Amino acid sequence: MAQIRIENVRKDFGDFTAVQSSSFTIEDGEFFMLLGPSGCGKTTTLRMMAGLELPTSGKIYIDGEEVGQKPASQRDIAFVFQMFALYPHMNVRGNISYPLKSQGMPRSKIKAKVGEVAEILGISDILDRPVGGLSGGDRQRVALGRAIVRDPKAFFMDEPLGALDAEFREHMAEELRALHDRMAATTVYVTHDQLEAMQMGDKIVVMNHGVVEQFGIPQEIYDWPATKFVAQFIGSPPMNFLDFNGTIGAGQATVHLNDVSIEVPESIEGGNGRLTLGIRPEHVLLDDAAPYRGRIVATEYLGTTQIVTLDTPNGLLKARVPSNKKIAVGESTGLNFDSRTITLFENDHGHALRSRANEGVLTHG
Amino acid sequence: MSFSVTEPSKRTKWLAGILVVGYALITISPLIWIIATGFKSGPDSIAYPPKMIFEPSLEGYVNLFTERTRATQDMLETAGPPKTWYDQIARDQGTVITGPSRYGARFLNSIIIGFGSTALCMLLGTAAAYAFSRFRVPLKDDLLFFILSTRMMPPIAVAIPIFLMFRNLGLNDTHLGMILLYTAVNLSLSVWLLKGFIDEIPIEYEEAALIDGYTRFQAFYKVVLPQAATGIASTAIFCLIFAWNEYAFAVLLTSGTAQTAPPFIPTIIGVGGKDWPAVAAGASIFLVPVMVFTILLRKHLLRGITFGAVRK
């Protein structure tokens, strides 16, 4: 098992830059998520770590060794493909034992090893079946078996649950996470599903347009997004943005929205001009006495909670409130914001302004 | 009346059946005619109206494989009674056998050149198709078009230059020359067909093999080749059929040591009158290898020609 370090890695395909100067470190034994929308460079980053693409520039260290320009076969890593890529001309046993054969392991040892892995994954009974007729879940398990049989330095997974139906995904996600905890292996996992990333990951890197937007543990990223992109990409519904023109100086803790003053965490980095106040829906409280007001446009019932859409002077806003609260569409109501959770963004680049609250998260990320 | 999109009506099924049987009869009847003629005697083969029912005779086959001369009374007396069954058949026609014919050697030439060029064509074609399918080849599209364009003119158009070239290189009437020529002609077909097949094989399989610790070449022959087997088999059949049946180049470029069966068979007619049964016998035997090869690979062929049309 190993630590993986990415330093200023860049990948160009002709004129197109897929990944621009990414740097981050994956600690030994971590379940690490590469998260982003399609085309953001997350898969390319993973493929560079695996050796399926060679970086245009930059360095990749696996277990302290620089492997950036080495072929995949010399990196001692395992890769689980989205479409599983099980060898169709071999049966389950053949697929799982294939990586061991390349190492020239003796037959009896291969057999024991495959049996052991099959036991872990619960596929002992299908070892002699051809892979063609297997269900999605079993294919997934065989692909995992092929990956873990070799005790590689790290596991790389490219949207491994993407090909499964929704119901089964949940189950497989748990199985994957349990397997990871059992093996304590460094795992890098690519996904575009933010829920999957938060549910399974020890750490998340959020990428967009080939750039690393933020890097950290799920809760920090959710609570203190570094950019507007991250704020919007993570969370469902995403963070609310209220655009306003205003000023906040270093050391101040209030902003003025539409002449209503709103408390925010004490600012460290001042800002002025076009700013955005970001707040998660669950931190918006409906309170008739509050001075900041909005008109209720719609409600969506979600079981334990409901999402209320409000029209405010600074744009639409969604609030998550308990579902037993009576909401009348069309009425006007006051809004309170939980001041400890507010993030301010400047609008030129969409970066979060540093405050006492998010300082810790933003400086190490 | 009920109506189904997928299930054809009874009348449609009947119509389809009649069409298929009719087409099969039309395609099979020349084959039956040739095979039947091979077993007829000389007079039966040219009888009018044609004889559908006849007494089978091995005359054609004996004549095909032997050289004979018209027997005089002296010769018959000195030779004594016929020693073998084929001797007897020759005597019945008033001839004596003087030795084996060249058909066996010509047939062997066909085998060597046909299968040799097919094998070489598969080897080069698979390698080229893999490169075109997987690697960034400069001017890929132009090269592929160029390769295809070699097929756009009739082969005979280049016959004279090839003849001159072969004469200067000493390749005239050699096995190597014919193998190279048929390989060159077939390569365009094999590269294009095989590229289609290899394109259909997801690249993830090779990547998985690379990750599993295999080299690129190992990934190619252990993972890609088995999956391209269908394509390779059907392409091989097409190549073999062309090389096997080729006549124009063979007539022009071979005359002796490397002459294949197609230019040889018509020359049988000239030996001692119009010997149709011998010609038919030669043609019948000539059909066998391609037929066997095709039957052996027919499972692949069927999948091969419909490959890529339907998503699995």
- How confident is residue B312, by pLDDT bands cut at 50, 70 and 90? very low
Q: Which residue of A has its CA nearest to B216?
A: A73
Q: What is the pLDDT of residues B129-188, one digit of tens each?
A: 999 999 888 999 999 999 888 888 887 788 889 999 999 999 999 999 999 999 999 999
For position A189, what pLDDT does the model report? 94
Domain coordinates of chain A in residue numbers? 4-223, 238-358
pLDDT in tens, A152-174: 889 999 988 887 788 888 888 88
Whether A92 has a pLDDT exceeding 90, the answer reads: yes
CATH class of A238-358: mainly beta
Are A146 and B212 within 8 A, CB to CB? yes
Asked if the A4-223 domain carries CATH number 3.30.1370.100, the reply is: no
Beta-bridge partners for A351 = A227
Q: Does the beta-carbon distance from B223 to A102 stay under 8 Å?
A: no
Q: What is the DSSP string of chain B?
A: ----SSSPPHHHHHHHHHHHHHHHHHHHHHHHHHHHHHTS-HHHHT-SSPPSS----SHHHHHHHEEEEEPPHHHHHHH-S--SHHHHHHHHTTEEEEEE-SHHHHHHHHHHHHHHHHHHHHHHHHHHHHHHHHS--TTHHHHHHHHHHTTSS-GGGGHHHHHHHHHHHT-TT-HHHHHHHHHHHHHHHHHHHHHHHHHTS-THHHHHHHHTT--HHHHIIIIIHHHHHHHHHHHHHHHHHHHHH--HHHHHH-SSTT--HHHHGGGGGGSSS--HHHHHHHHHHHHHHHHHHHHHTHHHHHHHHTTTTS--
**pLDDT given at position A281:** 94
Smallest CA–CA distance, residue B243 to chain A, in Å, is 31
Radius of gyration from C-alpha coordinates of chain A: 24
Of A87, A88, A99, the CB nearest to B213: A99
Q: Tell me, yes or no, if B138 comes closer than 8 A to chain A by beta carbon.
A: no
C-beta atoms of A73 and B210 within 8 A: yes
- Mean pLDDT, chain B, as a whole number? 87
**A52: nearest CB among B207, B214, B227:** B207
Residues of B in Cβ contact (< 8 Å) with A98: 209, 212
Who among A78, A83, A103 is closest to B204 (CB)?
A83
Q: Is the pTM of this model over 0.80?
A: no
Name every chain B residue with its beta carbon within 8 A of the beta carbon of A85. 202, 204-205, 207-208
Q: Which of B136, B212, B232 to mutate to test the interface with A (most CBs of A within 10 A)?
A: B212
Per-residue model confidence as pLDDT tens digits over A135-154: 888 888 899 899 989 888 89
The Cα B243–Cα B253 span in angstroms is: 14
Backbone dihedral angles phi then psi of residue A228, each to the nearest 5 degrees? -65, -30
Chain B: nearest CA to A85, how far in angstroms?
5
Average pLDDT over residues A104-122: 91
Check residue A10 and give its pLDDT: 93
Decide if the complex's ipTM is over 0.90: no
Residue of B nearest to A154 (CA): B211
- pLDDT score, position B310: 40
Residue A325 banded pLDDT, cuts 50, 70, 90 = confident
Q: In what order do the strands lie in the sheet with A293-301?
A: A284-286, A332-337, A293-301, A305-312, A315-322
Which pair of tokens denotes residue B63? 């004549």
Closest residue on chain B to A77 (Cα): B211
Asked whether residue B220 carries a pLDDT value surpassing 50, the answer given is yes
**Chain B residues with beta carbon closer than 8 angstroms to that of A89:** 226-227
Q: How close A196 gets to chain B, by Cα (Å)?
A: 24
Q: Say how many C-beta atoms besides its own lie within 10 A of residue B181's C-beta.
A: 22
